[in-house]
């Protein structure tokens, strides 16, 4: 999983083998170590109608809407984009796209 961060925008690009993991109910994780702690990004297909994201215990968890599995099975080039609106922070724009043309 590739992650690109710019200002308040995070883009996740996943490859075909990672797509298979998500479709099988697994989550993807990427760890960014710092000297005293590690920031972890978790991407999964959730159980809610809307995509959501939250930060807890040094993990930024992105749970895509439950219908994402069906969308990607029918249209594997579909890009998921949403905004995580939190009352106490600026909205973060999140985009998840499939990178199916790359080598595995």
Q: What is the pLDDT of residues 49-98, one digit of tens each?
A: 999 998 889 999 999 999 998 988 888 777 889 987 666 567 889 999 98
Q: Is the pLDDT of residue 17 over 70?
A: yes
| pLDDT reported for residue 104 | 46
Tokens of 30: 């990427």
What whole-number percentage of the chain has pLDDT above 70? 90
Sheet containing strand 59-64, edge to edge, reads: 28-33, 38-45, 59-64, 52-56
Question: Per-residue pLDDT for 34 more than 90?
Answer: yes
Which tokens sit at 96? 């998840």
Confidence (pTM): 0.86
């Amino acid at each position: 999983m590739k992650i690109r961060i710019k200002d308040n925008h995070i883009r996740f690009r996943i490859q075909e083998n990672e797509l298979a993991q998500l479709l099988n109910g697994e989550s993807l994780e990427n760890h960014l170590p710092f000297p005293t702690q590690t920031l972890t990004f978790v991407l999964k297909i959730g159980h809610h109608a809307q995509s959501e994201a939250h930060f807890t215990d040094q993990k930024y968890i992105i749970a895509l809407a439950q219908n994402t599995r069906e969308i990607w099975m029918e249209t594997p080039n579909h890009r998921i984009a949403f905004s995580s609106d939190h009352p106490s922070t600026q909205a973060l724009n999140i985009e998840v796209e499939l990178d199916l043309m790359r080598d595995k």
